[in-house]
Amino acid sequence: MKAAVFRGVGRIEIADLPVPEPGPGEVVIKVHYCGICGSDIDAYEVGTYEAGLVIGHEFAGEVVSTGRRVYGLEAGDLVAVNGIVPCGLCYFCRHGMGGQCEDVVQPGVSHNGGMAEYAKVPAPAVCRLPEGVTTRQAVLTEPLGNALHAVRLSALKPCDRVLVMGAGPIGLLTLQCARLAGARAVYVSELNPTRAALARQLGATAVFNPEQDNLFVALDELTDGLGPDVIFVCAGVPAAIEDAITLVRKGGQIVVVGISEEPVTADFMTVVLSEVSIKGSYGGYEEVPVALDFIAQGRVDVESLISHEIALEDVVEQGFEVLTHPPHEAVKIVVKM
**CATH annotation of 2-140+302-336:** 3.90.180.10
Query: pLDDT tens for residues 56-92?
Result: 999 999 999 999 999 999 999 999 999 999 999 999 9
Mean pLDDT of 239-246: 95
Looking at residue 236, what is its pLDDT? 87
Asked if pLDDT for residue 259 goes beyond 90, the answer is no
Cβ-based neighbour number of residue 187 at 10 Å: 25
Mean pLDDT of 304-310: 98
* Domain residue extents for the chain: 2-140+302-336, 145-280
* Whole-number Å distance between alpha carbons of 124 and 287: 14
Residues facing 231 on adjacent strands:
163, 254
Asked if pLDDT for residue 262 goes beyond 90, the answer is no
Q: What is the DSSP letter of 18?
A: P
Phi, psi (rounded to 5 degrees) for 150: -60, -45
Mean pLDDT of 163-172: 98
Looking at residue 73, what is its pLDDT? 96
Mean pLDDT of 273-280: 97
Mean pLDDT of 239-250: 96
Query: pLDDT tens for residues 184-200?
Result: 999 999 999 999 999 99
Looking at residue 183, what is its pLDDT? 98
The DSSP annotation for 188-205 comes to: EE-S-HHHHHHHHHTT-S
* Whole-number Å distance between alpha carbons of 317 and 311: 11
- Is the CB of residue 206 less than 8 Å from the CB of residue 222? yes
Mean pLDDT of 136-153: 98
Could you tell me the pTM of the whole model?
0.96
Looking at residue 336, what is its pLDDT? 98
Confidence band for 50, pLDDT divided at 50, 70 and 90: very high
**CATH annotation of 145-280:** 3.40.50.720
Q: Which residues contact 309 (CB under 8 A, 6 or more apart)?
A: 33, 136, 333, 334, 335, 336
Looking at residue 261, what is its pLDDT? 80
* Whole-number Å distance between alpha carbons of 87 and 14: 31
Q: For the ranges 49-53, 109-113, 234-238, 288-292, which has the lowest average pLDDT?
A: 234-238
Query: pLDDT tens for residues 13-49?
Result: 999 999 999 999 999 999 999 999 999 999 999 999 9
Long-range Cβ contact pairs of 45-50 (< 8 A, separation 24 or more): 45/9, 45/10, 45/324, 46/9, 46/261, 47/8, 47/9, 49/6, 49/109, 50/6
Quote the mean pLDDT of the chain: 96
Q: What is the DSSP letter of 36?
A: P
* Whole-number Å distance between alpha carbons of 176 and 183: 10
Containing 294, the helix (H) or strand (E) segment is helix 288-296
Phi, psi (rounded to 5 degrees) for 277: -105, 140
* Whole-number Å distance between alpha carbons of 36 and 56: 7
Looking at residue 216, what is its pLDDT? 95
